[in-house]
Structure 1
């Protein structure tokens, strides 16, 4: 073949001596026309030639250079769109952080024909309370696996989960129930610390604070198995952000660091909501944050459980019992999730997700191993306690308008007996520790009082308003349970005041412990408002005596305990960030105390005796020595009675009952649930 012929072919079958008047950018014939040895005729405004349009075939350039040109044009189009999105996101971030715009930095954004700059908010940018969060959605991936893991090959049998069968049939990746993960060695060079959002020095200080003052109070660090910042950064950016956020929340004067760490954690959690779980450390991060971040606790605990189930952690115990020792940490994490999820399901009066499975029923077998640690003992104690409380929830439900019937009190006695046995079994097994003193054993006593308080407070659920005409409606069994609740709430507060190691621990314990204190004080104060009113109606002198109707309730003792609670928690709050929940608990208790006015000669109210932490403090007056005529708010609300507001749905409704009382305070970014 002559060179002249090749030249003609390279010019789309022209002889090469004159240009084509309407020549397109195509520099060679397509593969189809080349194969049929016919003229490749381009069509205006079409990507295909005339032959390929008629036949409906794909018009692929025969020349490799043309393919490169097409791919280059496609890449440039995508890059232009992504560059516009990045520029828009950069504008949002600069504006949020009050930094100069791109124009001031020497690079101006593209302009429209009108000469005005345009900022388009990307679809994956979410603004909440003035804070901007970048969302990276997972791809809609319906691709098939090219290979199957060894675990899938070895599994056999006819009985399997339906979705597992569907995966075996289709091999679609998104249907897999087993998730493999390998640490990313580059994560340390790419995380938010490496980017300078949180400096290395600041991150080191926060990490040190967490390790020294917080970590051991949650089952001796079961949820955080690392001893250095570098180690946790290599394994999970989400866990790193969670730990630093918790530490900043427990450190006064770290407002800016707290906000930055919190923003990073929320942004990463948003991205993880619809993504496949990456590793166990990400689940640990969700659980840790649930224990300490009050505004996210409910959503994070549920997300952690869902992710853990997707990684088959609910099967870890059976595998451990079959000799797979590497499943021990997985089993620990499953137990921790059980406690976390049940704590908040009870606190909010909602049904739990995790049921009493084989691992919960056989937790003593888990403790038989010589590798059992003191943290395992404390964790197992919590598991067995919330197992009892969950049984009570299933028995009595959460309907605030459903009172306990007389036959229910027989079952309630059995629950009380189980709680007594629980304390006897676990207080001696919870070994004290040098760094945290007697907190392990005293913590068992604290949870014992709280469990009795929560169970027996149900005796007062949905009762009619107290009055002389209905005083006989309190049967002996109901009065017995109510007195146990009053005694347990009083013991909860007294124990914290009198045990030095518990007082010390209050700056580092999860929010559920703070909730116990808040609920105990709230319960007693509202008892003073409702049942104390009947004592006043019968005789003013009864304020210094136990309330009538057979209830062992002393109004002045309640006022004194509540005042001590507010004063003690205010001191604890001084060592925590101002956004910590405990500051709002103090405000809520003080607010209730204000509503119970002490009038005498001269007239003195709780507004002066128990000021809020931000107000000037007057010399406190001992309520026991004050004139004791109680005023319940005045006006039409004097005889207001709402037992649901008193005891909540199942023991208490944390969000509906207590947080509703402090809604008027400035909760800043804790106020809105970003989920």
Structure 2
């Protein structure tokens, strides 16, 4: 046995037992170590001699003790702060009537009027137009380790400036090359999976959209899916907007409409500053722009800019080079062109998409072997709004800028182009088994409205007429004004007399409703503006045309307007009460009541002449008693109509002028702050 080993250790090993671990012996306490003196222990005392004399705490010296103490203190403070934050969040959730932290996917009890949706912690939560603010992520200036080129991308000296900047710096957030990546987990995580809306109700709304709405927008060009499960796998945003549109066109679905609408708005807020992920998200924004009147302008711009970021404007050239997979991209680009230019004309504002190579060569796209009936109908719209946009550029939208006499020669050329457009596209727009003659009759409807829109410019910014200025209208101006009156009358008459158009009014985008509303508004304001002049010139004003050479019959206008109000009221019965049609009916009825003033024919006299001279409308009509939406009498003093401001305006002014003058009637749903 080695003399260095102790007998006790050998005995332990021989017995097969391991020796007990030794406790590290602290040679000095922290106080003695600090004074660099010997630490003398005292029997039966836990302190050393120096600590006893100085009555200080005797702490064994350990180099890691400070770290352990600091760590314990940090954890204690963090626990307290987390508890405070949790308590504060809980109070905020209770104040806003949101689910508490213990059950994030359940809806808390709330009044029927509260409109709340919670998608995920990262989403915006909106309630009664109040929106919580998101904490934005930090500005990422991270560099990419490598550059992944898009398929088909060619290198060269001439590139876009921002691409050159990215190539130089490789900063990740400068990139705009985004590939479509479907989210396979969306079905398990979307708002239907969270039971914000039940699967059964979602299926019912989806079925309604597919059967009654989808085909009226170019045979479903913007919605290529046949099942709810398929669209849920590809885009939650597209799912939300389709269900919102369906609920908006279904009476009695107020709760489902509010939930789907809140979900869509929440997701759109999140997408505003994010890069577009796939084509379906752009389709969702475009569909919403076509159908949601309160968000249409904002969403159209967002959709177009997202498409540009995904380089959809280059898809036509790629398709012409033989890349057939780009055809769907080109379809979407054309749909965005129509959406952008419809709303540009409707609001009297400049458009974003200009006449690029895809618009100029539309026929090359339609000559392809995979052209569908929806492509033909889409091509008709692209061609029409190309003409109307040229007129917008030529004449502008300033309501205080009248046309000069030299402008009417160009106006005749635009009228000729519209005539040629109808001859070319009405025959090509084949009827459908599902929607009847709507494709071809829709071309006729847009033809009348385009003529009305163009020729109403002849009356723009003219002073109100009087007997002293009875000869103020030149021949060219009277000719254009008469075309506008005839076209507005034809727009309403065609809508009443064509069964397939009447049926379509419960499913068409808001632009078609705007056409009817604007035509009726124009004719009624003409009746107000020129009625006094007609009365001064003739005692038989109700049956005689208006003076100044205008083919304008006030009795016929009143009859058509009442028929429009009655027809749209019936349409509104098959739509949700939040649909804009109800407010259009209210606005038309308001204009009818305001025509009953001493300077113009009274409502009672108009009813008499209407019954005598309009065999179609035989029943009496009281605009006040039959108004579908009652208004507050006090609003009459604050929402006075300017009876001359819409005449001849190239832009509808439909958001600010028309709806802005309608008395407030249960508009809570549309008071969500637009983004």
> Which sits farther off after the overlay, 653-662 or 183-192?
653-662
Q: How many Å separate the matches in 2 of 1:333 and 1:289?
A: 14
- Provide the C-alpha distance between the structure 1 equivalents of 2:606 and 2:423, rounded to a whole number of angstroms: 49
Query: After superposition, what is the alpha-carbon deviation per residue over 1:309-328, rounded to whole angstroms, capped at 9, x for unaligned?
Result: 01101111011111111111
Write the distance in 1 (CA, Å) between the matches of 2:481 and 2:97. 54
Report the CA distance shift for 1:268/1:400 in structure 2 as closer, same or farther (over 3 A).
same
Q: Which residue of 1 aligns with 2:52?
A: none
Counterpart position of 1:261: 260
SS in 2 for 1:541: coil
C-alpha separation in 2, matches of 1:500 and 1:374: 21
**Partner residue of 1:644?**
645
Equivalent runs, 1:418-437 vs 2, <5 Å: 418-437=417-436
User: Which stretches in structure 2 are left out of the alignment for 5+ residues?
Assistant: 1-22, 34-62, 106-120, 608-619
Q: Report deviation, 1:659.
A: 1.2
Q: CA deviation at 1:601?
A: 8.1
Q: Following TM superposition, by how much is the alpha carbon of 1:235 offset from its aligned partner in structure 2, in angstroms?
A: 0.8
Q: Residue in 1 aligned with 2:348? A: 349
SS at match of 1:557: helix
Counterpart CA distance in 1 for 2:32 and 2:221 is 74
Conservation of the 8 A alpha-carbon contact between 1:403 and 1:460: yes
Alignment of 1:51-70 (within 5 A): none
Structure 2 distance, partners of 1:421, 1:479, is 23
For the pair 1:17 / 2:27, whether they are aligned, the reply is yes
Q: Is the 8 A contact 1:460 1:643 kept in 2?
A: no
Q: 1:436 and 1:361 mapped to 2: Cα distance?
A: 30
Equivalent residue of 2:352, what SS? coil
**Aligned position for 2:4:** none
Matching residue of 1:249? 248
Asked if 1 retains the 8 angstrom alpha-carbon contact of 2:562 and 2:621, the reply is no
Q: How far, CA to CA, are the matches of 1:78 and 1:178 in structure 2?
A: 44
Q: Which whole-Å deviations, capped at 9, do the CAs of 1:496-538 have from their partners, x for residues lacking one? A: 1000000000000000000000000000000000012100122
Residue 250 of structure 2: SS of its match in structure 1? coil
Cα distance in 2, alignment partners of residues 603 and 318 from structure 1? 59
Contact 1:133-1:263 within 8 A present in 2 as well: no
Check conservation: 1:423, 1:444, Cα contact below 8 A.
Answer: yes
Tell me by how many angstroms 1:224 deviates.
0.5
Whole-Å separation in 1 of the counterparts to 2:441 and 2:84 = 59
Please say which structure displays the higher CA radius of gyration: 2
After superposition, the C-alpha distances for 1:264-295 in whole angstroms (9 at most, x for unaligned) are 11111111111111111111000000000000
- Residues 301 and 213 of structure 1, relative CA distance in 2, 3 Å threshold: same
Residues 399 and 572 (structure 1), Cα distance of their counterparts in 2 relative to 1, 3 Å cut: same
Hey, what's the Cα distance between the residues in 2 that align with 1:260 and 1:489?
38
Alpha-carbon distance between aligned partners in 2 of 1:498 and 1:155, rounded to the nearest angstrom? 56
Aligned pairs, number: 584
1:175 corresponds to 2:190: no
Aligned residue runs from structure 1 range 217-366, under 5 A: 217-366=216-365
Taking the aligned partners of 1:316 and 1:89, their CA distance within structure 2 comes to 48
Cα 1:410–1:235 change in 2 (3 A) is same
Residue of structure 1 in register with 2:49 after alignment:
none
Deviation per CA, 1:552-597, whole angstroms, max 9, x where unpaired? Answer: 0000000000000000000000000000000000000011111112
Within 5 A, what are the aligned runs for 1:458-607?
Answer: 458-597=457-596, 599=602, 607=622
CA contact (8 A) 1:235 1:281 kept: yes
Partner Cα separation in structure 2 for residue 449 and residue 22 of structure 1: 102
Q: Distance in 1 between matches of 2:625 and 2:97?
A: 40
Q: 1:476 to 1:300 in 2, by over 3 A?
A: same
CA distance in 1, matches of 2:95, 2:495: 47
Change (3 A) 1:367 1:536: same
The gaps in structure 1 that reach 5 residues or longer are: 1-10, 24-61, 106-121, 617-633
Alignment pair present for 1:669 and 2:669: yes
**Relative to 1, partners in 2 of residues 1:85 and 1:190: Cα closer, same or farther, differing over 3 Å?**
farther
Change (3 A) 1:422 1:603: closer
Q: Is the 8 A contact 1:134 1:267 kept in 2?
A: no
Does 2:610 align with 1:611?
Answer: no
The RMSD of aligned alpha carbons is 3.4
Distance 1:364 1:88, change over 3 A: farther
Q: Distance in 1 between matches of 2:176 and 2:258?
A: 36
CA separation of 1:237/1:665 partners in 2, compared to 1, >3 Å: closer, same or farther? same
Deviation per CA, 1:460-490: give whole Å up to 9, x if none.
0000110111121100000000000000000
Using structure 2 for the length normalisation, give the TM-score.
0.80
Deviations 1:29-62 (A, max 9, x none): xxxxxxxxxxxxxxxxxxxxxxxxxxxxxxxxx9
